[in-house]
Amino acid sequence: MYITRITREDKAPHQDGPRVNEKISAPKVRLVDENGEMAGVLSHTEALERAYSVGLDLVEVSPHADPPVCKILDYGKYKFEEQKRRAEMRKKQKVIEVKEIQLRPVIDKHDFDVKMRSARKFIEEGDKLKVTLRFRGREMSHQDLGTEVLNRVKATLEDIAKVEQFPKLEGKRMIMILGPVK
């Protein structure tokens, strides 16, 4: 049986965001006042008194500096703006999906054209395309037919897509990955 020793730091809840007011542990801080002007290096209590005198909070913005940089601002407003900024970044971020199209080495011309229309649509939407060519039975001995089909795919989509992973054989499948041209 193992006995582990629990220290005070282990029990402390994890804090997200900067330290505020009395939670700042540094004895001296570099203070930026409510107007954004540098006020110099002050003791923690002096900086806290200045923040309270104007009705705002003392927020540690750069904890790793020596001494830590603290700013006098409205902490509630600061958290709200930070949350809005994160939401805006999430909204602008584009999640690239990998869409897959499965082909056979003996695909007919019309079937091939239908698959290429949907492949073109996927790439124009900004997604990557995984082209999987499945071999069955004796088709494995004619891998050159599969390579020709994948080369046709590459030639058909070369105006809007570039090959990110060239065709390679994995078991009974030949796989090629295409991505949109920037």
Q: What CATH number does the domain containing 148 carry?
A: 3.30.110.10
Instruction: Give the total number of structural domains in the chain.
Output: 2
* Angstrom distance (rounded) from CA 143 to CA 150: 11
Q: How far is CA 29 from CA 21, 57, 65, 78, 121, in A?
A: 12, 14, 9, 20, 57
Q: Average pLDDT, whole number, for the chain?
A: 87
pLDDT in tens, 1-20: 566 665 555 444 456 678 88
Q: Which residues in 62-99 are b (16+ Cβ under 10 Å) and which e?
A: eeeeeebbbbbbebeebeeeeeeeeeeeeeeeeeeeeb
Identify whether 145 is part of a domain.
yes
Identify whether 5 is part of a domain.
no
- Per-residue model confidence (pLDDT) at position 10: 47
Identify whether 54 is part of a domain.
yes
Please tell me whether residues 127 and 54 are part of one structural domain: no
Residue type, 74: D
Q: Is 49 helix (H, G, I), strand (E, B) or coil?
A: helix
Identify whether 85 is part of a domain.
no
Instruction: Name residue 57's beta-bridge partners.
Output: 73
Q: 125 lies in which domain range?
A: 98-180
Across the range 168-178, mean pLDDT stands at 92
pLDDT in tens, 125-159: 889 999 999 999 888 888 899 999 999 999 999 99
Per the CB < 8 A criterion, the answer to whether 127 and 146 are in contact is no
